[in-house]
Amino acid sequence: APAPVASAPAAAKVMVVGTDAAYAPFESQNEKGEIVGFDIDVAKAVAAKAGIEVKFVNTPWEGIFNALGQGDRDMIASAVTITEERKQSMDFSDPYFDAQQLIAVKEGSKVAKFADLKKLKVGVQTGTTGDEAVTKLLGKTSTNIKRFESTPLALKELESGGVDAVVADNGVVIHHVANNPGSKFKTVSDKEFAPEQYGFAFKKGNVELQSKVNKALAEIKADGTYDKIYAQYFG
């Protein structure tokens, strides 16, 4: 048997990752309550490469960046779009996923492009890039914008007829439509929506973790790990 060590090694520092786990296929909770998804697998692969232990904590979107700023989370992995505005208050990893807004409507809807939503009731998740796009189109004071704390809640409202459309990230809308044929939704795309990229977010100035993650991200992109995870979720 190995001789007992004189002093216990310093506790390994665990990277606490915040995620709003109501955003399949990027992050969601399975039947066991475990947090799973594309972002989770990428973040796990990155952490493994960097030799960092990682723990995921379900964190409501509305408080997610505050939790990061206060140091309650070390990193956010939550399909976060890298935007100039957010860069003022947080730092991002290199991009790891391309996205764009996509419209969900009922199958019979006449909506054919984003501008068609101008006079309609539109559901969004509060504080997302979808919210931003719709706010720009309908106007800051529009009472036709219905804001929800999660994207699934906005989609539920579309199903019950409380809103005429939902604008959210394409990956999530496509996943929902494909997995809920009973909802009878269809998607409407529009090139007017700006291209978006997801990044992992860090507290502003946490260059140490940011560079570790960037290095590991480049490594999993180079060695095929990223492609394998991508194929698992997006074929």
Q: DSSP H helical segments within 120-206, as ranges?
A: 129-138, 151-160, 170-179
Which of 15, 18, 24, 27 is close enough to bind ligand ARG by CB under 6 A? 27
Which of 18, 25, 46, 128 is close enough to bind ligand ARG by CB under 6 A? 128
CB of 222 to ligand ARG, least distance (A): 25
CB of 11 to ligand ARG, least distance (A): 29
Question: Cβ closer to ligand ARG: 49 or 155?
Answer: 155
CB of 114 to ligand ARG, least distance (A): 16
Q: Are strands 122-125 and 165-169 parallel, antiparallel or unpaired?
A: parallel
The token pair at 119 is: 């006079």
Give the number of other CB atoms < 10 A from CB of residue 142: 14
The token pair at 103 is: 């419209």
Return the closest-CA partner of residue 80 out of 69, 67, 95. Answer: 95
> Is residue 20 a contact residue for ligand ARG (CB under 6 A)?
yes
**Footprint of ligand ARG on residues 167-226 (CB under 6 A)?**
169
Residue 166 near residue 177 (C-beta atoms within 8 A):
no
Stated as kind and residue range, the H or E segment containing 32 is: none
Question: Cβ closer to ligand ARG: 189 or 219?
Answer: 189
Which of 24, 54, 56, 61 is close enough to bind ligand ARG by CB under 6 A? 61
Rounded to the nearest 5 degrees, what angle is found at the Cα of 217, between the Cα atoms of 20 and 88? 60
Rounded to the nearest 5 degrees, what angle is found at the Cα of 86, between the Cα atoms of 163 and 167? 15
Stated as kind and residue range, the H or E segment containing 165 is: strand 165-169
Question: Cβ closer to ligand ARG: 20 or 190?
Answer: 20
CB of 232 to ligand ARG, least distance (A): 19
The 67-96 site mask, x for binding ligand ARG (CB under 6 A), equals -----------xxxx---------------
What is d(CA 146, CA 200) in angstroms, rounded to the nearest whole number?
A: 27
Supply φ then ψ for residue 107, to 5 degrees: -50, -40
Residue type, 206: N
Which of 16, 23, 124, 134 is close enough to bind ligand ARG by CB under 6 A? 23
3-state secondary structure of 203: strand
Question: Cβ closer to ligand ARG: 79 or 117?
Answer: 79
Question: Cβ closer to ligand ARG: 39 or 116?
Answer: 39
Question: Cβ closer to ligand ARG: 125 or 225?
Answer: 125
Question: Cβ closer to ligand ARG: 20 or 164?
Answer: 20
Task: Report the interface residues with ligand ARG, using CB under 6 A.
Answer: 20, 23, 27, 61, 78-81, 125, 128-129, 151, 169
